C-alpha cells in the first residue's frame, strides 16, 4: 500500500513531524527525515492493525464486513 505523507520541519523542538492526511490522527516524528519516515511506516501499520480489530462483530450483529477494491 502507498500513502502520501506530509513532512514538516519542527522549528521549535528540531527534527521532523510526519502526518498521513488519509488516516486521521496518524502522526509520527524523528530527528531526521529518514527516521521520521521509518517511524511513520510503523505508525501506519499500528493504525491499520487497530482498524482491523474494530471489525470484529458480535453474534447477532446486523452489520457485515465487506472488502471493496478501488
Question: Which pLDDT band holds residue 60 (cuts at 50, 70, 90)?
Answer: confident
CA–CA distance, 70 with 18 (Å, rounded to integer) = 25
Sheet order of strands, 16-19 included: 6-9, 16-19, 27-30
Q: Is the pLDDT of residue 67 over 80?
A: no
Residues 6-59 pLDDT 10s: 999 999 999 999 999 999 999 999 999 999 999 999 999 989 887 666 666 677
Q: Domains plus CATH for the chain?
A: 1-70 (3.30.160.250)
Amino acid at each position: 500500500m502507498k500513502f502520501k505523507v506530509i513532512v514538516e520541519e519542527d522549528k521549535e523542538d528540531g527534527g521532523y513531524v510526519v502526518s498521513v492526511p488519509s488516516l486521521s490522527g496518524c502522526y509520527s516524528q524523528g530527528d531526521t527525515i529518514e527516521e521520521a519516515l521509518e517511524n511513520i511506516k510503523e505508525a501506519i501499520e499500528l493504525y491499520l492493525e487497530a482498524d482491523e480489530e474494530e471489525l470484529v462483530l458480535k453474534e447477532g450483529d446486523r452489520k457485515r464486513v465487506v472488502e471493496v477494491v478501488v
